[in-house]
Amino acid sequence: MSVMDVPEEIRHSLTEWCAQRIPPGERERRRIGYTVHGRQVTISDRRAPAVPELDVEWSSTPIARLAVDDAGHWTLHRPVDGGWVRTSDGADPIALLDAQAPA
């Protein structure tokens, strides 16, 4: 089996999906973003520090994880009690996210 990373067109769609989750007026203090590790995409809710003078790091809370197999089939997982629970699967990762929009 070959290892398939996340295709560039999916990364582009994920970038757009994440940007659409937060209204423009909130983007200074909150964002939805994603990271890719091989065939997994973790989507996180990122928030600016409450007291920027004391902490310059944004917090990051995972809200969903997508995984793709060698055949291009996607699964969506949600965080539950410190682990991940599979909630749905299909051919289109954006449709999976839209069906269970986390933000």
pLDDT tens track for 24-83: 999 899 999 999 999 999 999 999 988 877 777 899 999 999 999 989 999 999 999 999
pLDDT tens track for 84-98: 999 999 999 999 999
> Which is it for strands 30-37 and 83-90: parallel, antiparallel or unpaired?
unpaired
Say yes or no to pLDDT of 103 above 70: no
Supply 98's token pair.
């839209």
Please give the distance of CA 74 from its chain centroid, rounded to a whole number. 13
CA 60 – CA 33 distance, rounded (Å): 9
The pLDDT assigned to 53 comes to 78
CA 92 – CA 84 distance, rounded (Å): 20
Q: How far apart are the first and last CA of the chain?
A: 35
